[in-house]
């Protein structure tokens, strides 16, 4: 068994989760926050059989897309890098960041 942890954009979460549940997967949706942008995103947890991992990855790939987002770089202290010219830069966010972990045991009581 594997635990799939997928960080997806909020905009993609309903479609992604909907398709996964429609296909019979069990999932948990967590509200999360990205460390870099400090904006909300969604973390999906799915416990699946080994042979289902590829299907889940396909669904995530088909429903989560990359988007460019403007962000103003901040210094470690939280201030703008250059107070006079805080140029926004574009970062490419998503489609999804996915971790696949081995599950030692899954217990339901």
**Range 9-48, binding ligand 2BA (CB under 6 A):** 34-37, 41
Query: Cβ distance 32 to 41 under 8 Å?
Result: yes
Q: State the angle between helix axes of 53-63 and 13-22 in degrees (0 to 180), rounded to the nearest 10.
A: 140
Complex with ligand 2BA: residue 52 or 97, whichever CB lies closer: 97
Q: Among residues 36 and 84, whose Cβ is nearest to ligand 2BA?
A: 36
The single residue among 83, 85, 92, 104 that binds ligand 2BA, judged by CB under 6 A, is 92
* 7: number of Cβ within 10 Å: 18
Q: For the chain, state the CA radius of gyration.
A: 17
**Bridge partners of residue 30, in order along the sequence:** 43
Give the count of residues interacting with ligand 2BA (CB under 6 A). 11
Strand-pairing partners, residue 101, are 3
- Taking CB under 6 A as the criterion, the residue among 16, 48, 93, 98 binding ligand 2BA is 93
Q: Which residues bind ligand 2BA (CB under 6 A)?
A: 7, 34-37, 41, 91-94, 97
């Amino acid at each position: 068994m594997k635990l799939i942890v997928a960080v997806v954009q909020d905009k993609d979460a309903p479609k992604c989760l909907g398709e996964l549940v429609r296909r019979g997967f069990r999932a948990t949706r967590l509200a999360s926050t990205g460390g870099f942008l400090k904006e909300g995103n969604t973390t999906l947890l799915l416990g699946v059989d080994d042979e289902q991992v590829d299907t889940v990855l396909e669904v995530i790939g088909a429903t989560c897309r990359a988007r460019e987002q403007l962000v103003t770089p901040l210094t470690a202290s939280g201030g703008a890098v250059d107070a006079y010219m805080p140029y926004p830069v574009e970062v490419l966010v998503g489609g999804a960041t996915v971790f696949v972990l081995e599950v030692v045991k899954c217990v339901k009581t």
